[in-house]
């Protein structure tokens, strides 16, 4: 069956819990980023940290009504309660709600308590916007499945899925007891817990500096930027370990955060050398292995903590948001790091774990097939006259670094980054007969003008575009996640889109 580009706002898969929302043209991407009603009126679900699933909104409204408060009944509001609109945040726990609201400077108007989550209502405005961003960065909103159960007033089911997921993941984290694999509400929640764990260990020694090594996923950057009392130092070139050591030598570095490989640059630091530098100067190392996934890379031997999204590769159907965090038990501070991370993370909801369990057992086979399709697609794109450059984790100056962490026969994962000749990106993206939107590592091919989605403010002004170029990236790159479709069909879509 030929591939096609679904309509604006369509979700893939066709499920209320889908994690991909379709944005078929660059104009749609721009309107999505600018919150244009033309686009947002069509969106009911999407990548859950960026698009609040309508089930989550309905659950929040229902809980508020149970508390006797509703925008439909303004005459019945409690004394001193402001008129709507308000901003509602159904969050995993009370401590999270209060911590994030305080960090954002948002005044909580009221609480709603459900057996599975805490709803807070804050006044609309700048503080609510800051709070929404913090919720996005930390992945602390309740999931659509949890919301669906709340709306159905369904009893809490036993969590049979999480042990099965841990058992399937255990072979990829040698030496970690399955019960110590922290299943999180998202990959970013795993990153947030890892950063907090390092801070909790290092802050008493006066270490409050983080080194960002390489271009990281936008929410990881924002977590470092917004961490109270923490200074972020950015080394954009993952091979510049001399610059890393200069920062480490100051003696105030808590940790180094890097992705292996990073997204969308697809470059990998020399983790063995980086580990030695961190040890020499008392810093801890956090590695995010989401780009190629747990079945493609083995980063734990070099890291103090490894965070990884399971939304990709492990949940290849595209209908589960999840992450995992592992603490290396052989490293100093392992027990303290694990305790702090366990207290901070949001556990994967039982219903999401149940949906993930039958998928995660196939992660090795799916990763290998996605890697093979991506490699073949990269080979063909490299030969096309409209293409300037194709990046994969196994090409370029850091390919050997990636090979050292690659599991035997695993490949480079589903991702490749394509730079086109000037002026061709919008035309090519718009013409592609493929699924277009956020996410990757899925059973279906997904294409995104990544910088326009993740760094819209920077990519829409010349100063921002210059900063992106200085970091070695093309502001108009296309990030491609090869799927499981026959590679000839994927290539036919690109050949058509690139045809002059």
Alpha carbon 122 to its chain centroid, in Å, reads 26
Residue 75 confidence (pLDDT): 65
Residue the block writes with tokens 């996005």: 136
Best CATH choice for the domain 53-140 from the list 3.40.50, 2.60.40, 3.40.190, 3.30.1360: 3.30.1360
Residue 147 DSSP class: H
Among candidates 367, 258, 266, 262, which has minimal Cα distance to 310? 367
The residue length of the chain stands at 500
Best CATH choice for the domain 11-16+363-498 from the list 3.90.1150.10, 3.10.580.10, 2.40.160.10, 2.30.22.10: 3.90.1150.10
Among candidates 161, 60, 36, which has minimal Cα distance to 118? 60
Among candidates 52, 140, 46, 41, which has minimal Cα distance to 448? 46
Question: 3-class SS at 460?
Answer: coil
Residue 1 confidence (pLDDT): 34
Q: Is the dihedral of CA 303, 305, 307, 313 positive or negative?
A: positive
Residue 69 confidence (pLDDT): 81
Q: Give 79's pLDDT tier (boundaries 50, 70, 90).
A: confident
Asked if pLDDT for residue 139 goes beyond 90, the answer is: yes
To the nearest whole percent, how much of the chain has pLDDT over 90?
Answer: 91
CB contact at 8 A, 365 and 296 = no
What integer is the mean pLDDT of 407-415? Answer: 96
For the record, the structure tokens of 145 come out as: 């499945």
Interval 462-481: pLDDT, tens: 999 999 999 899 999 999 99
Q: Residue 284 and residue 257: Cα distance in Å, rounded?
A: 9
Q: Is 104 exposed, middle or buried (0-12, 13-18, 19+ CB in 10 A)?
A: buried
Our CA angle for 310, 316, 320, nearest 5°, is: 55
Our CA angle for 317, 413, 391, nearest 5°, is: 130
What integer is the mean pLDDT of 86-97? Answer: 95
CA-atom Rg of the chain in angstroms: 22
Q: Residue 51 and residue 201: Cα distance in Å, rounded?
A: 34
For the record, the structure tokens of 28 come out as: 């749609």
Residue 28 confidence (pLDDT): 98
Interval 429-462: pLDDT, tens: 999 999 999 999 999 999 999 999 999 999 999 9
Domain extent listing, the chain: 11-16+363-498, 53-140, 161-360
Q: Is the dihedral of CA 193, 194, 199, 201 positive or negative?
A: positive
Among candidates 246, 242, 239, which has minimal Cα distance to 214? 239
CB contact at 8 A, 123 and 109 = yes
Q: Give 137's pLDDT tier (boundaries 50, 70, 90).
A: very high
pTM given for the model: 0.96
Among candidates 415, 443, 482, which has minimal Cα distance to 13? 443
Among candidates 131, 164, 159, 165, which has minimal Cα distance to 145? 159
Among candidates 227, 228, 220, which has minimal Cα distance to 259? 220
Asked if pLDDT for residue 2 goes beyond 50, the answer is: no
What pairs with residue 123 in β-bridges? 86
To the nearest whole percent, how much of the chain has pLDDT over 70?
Answer: 98
Q: Residue 159 and residue 26: Cα distance in Å, rounded?
A: 42
Residue-averaged pLDDT of the chain: 95
Q: How many CB atoms lie within 10 A of CB 454?
A: 20
Q: How many CB atoms lie within 10 A of CB 124?
A: 13
Q: What is the CATH number of domain 161-360?
A: 3.40.640.10
Residue 74 confidence (pLDDT): 62
Q: How many CB atoms lie within 10 A of CB 250?
A: 11
Residue 301 confidence (pLDDT): 98
For the record, the structure tokens of 487 come out as: 């590679």
Asked if pLDDT for residue 13 goes beyond 60, the answer is: yes
Interval 263-322: pLDDT, tens: 999 999 999 999 999 999 999 999 999 999 999 999 999 999 999 999 999 999 999 999
Q: For 171, how many CA atoms within 13 A lie in the half-sphere containing its CB?
A: 9
Residue 71 confidence (pLDDT): 66
Q: Give 73's pLDDT tier (boundaries 50, 70, 90).
A: low
Q: How far is CA 444 from CA 244, 351, 382, 384, in A?
A: 38, 23, 22, 23
Asked if pLDDT for residue 20 goes beyond 90, the answer is: yes
Among candidates 443, 293, 423, which has minimal Cα distance to 373? 443
Asked if pLDDT for residue 147 goes beyond 60, the answer is: yes
């Amino acid at each position: 069956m030929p591939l096609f580009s679904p309509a604006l706002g369509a979700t893939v898969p066709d499920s209320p819990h889908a994690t991909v929302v379709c944005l078929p043209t660059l104009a749609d991407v721009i309107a999505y980023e600018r919150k244009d009603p033309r686009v947002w009126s069509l969106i009911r679900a999407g990548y859950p940290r960026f698009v609040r699933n309508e089930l989550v909104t309905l659950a929040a409204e229902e809980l508020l009504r149970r508390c006797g408060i509703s925008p439909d009944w303004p005459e019945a509001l409690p004394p001193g309660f402001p008129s709507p609109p308000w901003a509602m945040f159904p969050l995993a726990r009370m401590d999270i709600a209060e911590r994030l609201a305080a960090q954002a400077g948002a005044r909580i108007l009221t609480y709603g308590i459900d057996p599975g989550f805490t709803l807070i209502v804050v006044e609309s405005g700048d503080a609510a916007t800051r709070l929404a961003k913090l919720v996005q960065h930390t992945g602390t909103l309740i999931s659509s499945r949890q919301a669906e159960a709340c709306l159905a007033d369904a009893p809490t089911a036993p969590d049979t899925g999480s042990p099965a997921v841990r058992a399937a993941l255990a072979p990829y984290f040698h030496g970690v007891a399955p019960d110590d694999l922290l299943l999180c509400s998202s990959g970013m929640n795993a990153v947030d817990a890892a950063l907090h764990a390092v801070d909790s260990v290092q802050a008493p020694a006066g270490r409050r500096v983080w080194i960002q090594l390489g271009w990281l996923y936008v929410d990881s950057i924002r977590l470092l930027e917004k961490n109270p009392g923490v200074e972020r130092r950015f080394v954009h070139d993952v091979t510049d370990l001399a610059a890393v050591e200069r920062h480490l030598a100051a003696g105030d570095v808590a940790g180094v955060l890097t992705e292996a490989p990073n997204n969308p640059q697809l470059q990998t630091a020399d983790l063995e050398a980086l580990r030695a530098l961190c040890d020499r100067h008392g810093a801890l190392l956090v590695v995010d292995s989401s780009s190629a996934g747990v079945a493609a890379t083995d980063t734990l031997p070099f890291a103090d903590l490894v965070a990884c999204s399971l939304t990709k590769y492990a949940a290849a159907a595209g209908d589960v948001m999840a992450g995992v965090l592992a603490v290396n038990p052989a490293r100093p501070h392992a027990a303290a790091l694990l305790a702090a991370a366990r207290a901070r993370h949001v556990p994967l909801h039982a219903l999401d774990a149940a949906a993930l369990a039958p998928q995660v057992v196939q992660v090795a086979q799916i990763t290998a097939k996605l890697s093979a399709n991506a490699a073949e697609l990269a080979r063909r794109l490299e030969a096309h006259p409209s293409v300037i450059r194709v990046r994969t984790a196994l090409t370029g100056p850091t390919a050997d670094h990636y090979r050292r962490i690659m599991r035997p026969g695993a490949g480079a994962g589903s991702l490749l980054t394509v730079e086109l000749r000037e002026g061709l990106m919008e035309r090519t993206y718009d013409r592609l007969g493929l699924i277009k939107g956020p996410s990757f590592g899925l059973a279906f091919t997904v294409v995104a003008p990544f910088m326009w989605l993740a760094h819209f403010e920077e990519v829409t002004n010349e100063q921002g575009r210059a900063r992106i170029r200085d970091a070695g990236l093309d502001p108009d790159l296309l990030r491609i996640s090869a799927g499981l479709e026959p590679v000839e069909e994927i290539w036919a879509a690109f050949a058509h889109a690139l045809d002059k």
